[in-house]
Amino acid sequence: MQLSRSHGLRLTQLLAALLCACADDDPTVAPAACGQTPCSAMCDALQTDCDILDDACRARVFAAVVCVRGTPGEPPEVRVITEDEYRSQLEENLLGDAGSAMDASSDVGADGGAALDASSDASADAGGAEPDPTTTWSDGLRLLRLLAPDTSVLEAAIDDRVTTTAGFYSGAERAITLIDRGAAQDSASARNLLAHEFVHALQDQQFGLEELRRSTGGTIDGSTAVRCLTEGEADHYADLASGLLEGFSVNPELIMISAKAALKFYRDRVALDENPYYGADRLVYPVGHAFVADAWLLDGNAGVQRLLGAPPVSTVQFIRGYGEFRDATIAPIQPLSCGDAQGPGDGYELYSSATLGAFQVFGLLTKAMVDDGIRPSEEAWRHASRWSQDRLALFSHESGEVAVSWRMRFVREEVAGQVADAFERRIADDWSDLRIRRRAAEIELLGSTDPELREAWQGTDPEACPSDQP
């Protein structure tokens, strides 16, 4: 589980808002869940202030998770490593194999991030032009302002994980790893963390985390959508298990109030993050949590299980909410009107292409829409919720130069126009290495450090597009 804010803060909100529910299909039946649900016989035995480094404590936490989720399973192995050991492990796994490092997050739903999954969505064709594949992606993301200047995608990924990860579940090893930062492990926060990772273990045993990942088509957007679901479910049932362990009662109304407050907190953090590529990726926690909590409140545990059996395939479905997803009222995800952009000139080859999804569009919009220091994250979120499709095409030159095209489609021309206006203002101000093209409900950002090449580059070939956009 990655944490982009204090886990203690989240638990403070949690204990004030929820807590304690069990495996009912009608979880709102009464606030005093212990005593009125199938979990009631276990409640007194489970309430504890134990240390999660103790085997008996871990057994209690696992029993609480099984109870509230309503599905049986086997407790996984739990091990503990230091922060330095974790950093060394990441550096060995990521930096030690640059050729596959962009697809390093095999532990989907655990500590892995879709922000490392670029090549899993790619028609990668480096053609020998670029010795370090991560440099090409870093350069492209910097052109788009998704990475800060002089930031390496891998170095940023490692720093992000080391500072925000408290523990993770590995599907490959079927084990939980906790990061020991020298603090006691006997707090409600520590037990909530362990409960979160136990949910991932149960997800893996029941559905297969890698199978869930493959079910969404292999794009970055699809991978992020899977993580919204797995992290959201893990957060939700970890909170309910914490309530059971702490002896609190559930308040359905406050569940959603807390979830919405957390979502606003995270959105505002993205607007302030110098690397929105990673800031936007961490939205999987609050967005997924709100979505799953809504499913649980409306349809109980059975509704959550149905989601895991047939998961949403795009982050925009999570942004729009469970109600629209369940009732099939979300506007369909539309294809772009043409194929990938053509390269900007001789010597440039398509290195990779990817569908990033609505979260990354939101991340960029938080930078583009700044006005006198005010960051309108709510307006950026509304625009992102009208995302319909995107495609990033990254081109590399034998000299090491990079050019990038990012095409985005929105559900209405009006929204595309508003987004294009925001980009045009920033380009005129200080985003001089970008230019923008718009066609009906689609816009295309073209980026290059070479001004002559940038101005001459036509991007998507107009001759390849139909005369009337569908």
Q: Where are the domains of the chain?
A: 7-84+157-326
pLDDT confidence of residue 111: 37
pLDDT confidence of residue 222: 94
Whether the pLDDT of residue 169 is over 80: the answer is yes
Residue that wins the pLDDT comparison between 153 and 385 = 385
Give the SS3 label for residue 332. Answer: coil
Residue that wins the pLDDT comparison between 252 and 378 = 378
Q: Phi and psi (nearest 5°) for 190?
A: -65, -40
Whether the pLDDT of residue 468 is over 90: the answer is no
Whether the pLDDT of residue 104 is over 80: the answer is no
Whether the pLDDT of residue 170 is over 60: the answer is yes
What integer is the mean pLDDT of 373-400? 89
pLDDT, tens digit (0-9, with 9 covering 90-100), for 17-70: 444 344 444 443 322 333 335 565 555 556 667 888 888 888 989 999 999 999
Whether the pLDDT of residue 380 is over 70: the answer is yes
DSSP state of 227: H
Among the listed residues 23, 21, 14, the one whose alpha carbon sits nearest the alpha carbon of residue 303: 23
pLDDT confidence of residue 466: 57
What integer is the mean pLDDT of 78-97? 83
Whether the pLDDT of residue 423 is over 90: the answer is yes
pLDDT confidence of residue 373: 60
The residues, any chain, with a CB within 8 Å of residue 104's CB and separated by 6 or more, are 93, 94, 112, 116, 157
pLDDT interval class at 346 (50, 70, 90):
confident
* pLDDT above 90 coverage of the chain, percent: 46
pLDDT confidence of residue 307: 95
Q: Phi and psi (nearest 5°) for 461?
A: -65, 115
DSSP state of 2: B
Whether the pLDDT of residue 146 is over 90: the answer is yes
pLDDT confidence of residue 120: 35
pLDDT confidence of residue 43: 53
Whether the pLDDT of residue 157 is over 80: the answer is no
Whether the pLDDT of residue 276 is over 80: the answer is yes
Q: Using CA atoms, how far apart are residues 309 and 215, in angstroms rounded to an integer?
A: 10
**Which of 41-55, 132-146, 251-265, 344-358 comes out lowest in average pLDDT?**
41-55
pLDDT confidence of residue 192: 93
CA distances from 30 to 94, 299, 349, 406 (A): 49, 16, 62, 50
**Which of 13-22, 176-185, 240-249, 284-293 comes out lowest in average pLDDT?**
13-22
Which alpha helices (H) appear in 273-350, and where do they start and end?
276-281, 284-309, 315-320, 322-326
Whether the pLDDT of residue 108 is over 90: the answer is no
pLDDT, tens digit (0-9, with 9 covering 90-100), for 356-372: 999 999 999 999 987 76
pLDDT confidence of residue 290: 95
The pTM of this model reads 0.84
Range among 145-154, 174-183, 203-212, 370-379 rated most confident: 203-212
pLDDT confidence of residue 218: 80
pLDDT confidence of residue 309: 92
The residues, any chain, with a CB within 8 Å of residue 150's CB and separated by 6 or more, are none
Whether the pLDDT of residue 236 is over 90: the answer is yes
Residue that wins the pLDDT comparison between 99 and 175 = 175
CA distances from 410 to 164, 321, 407 (A): 33, 18, 10
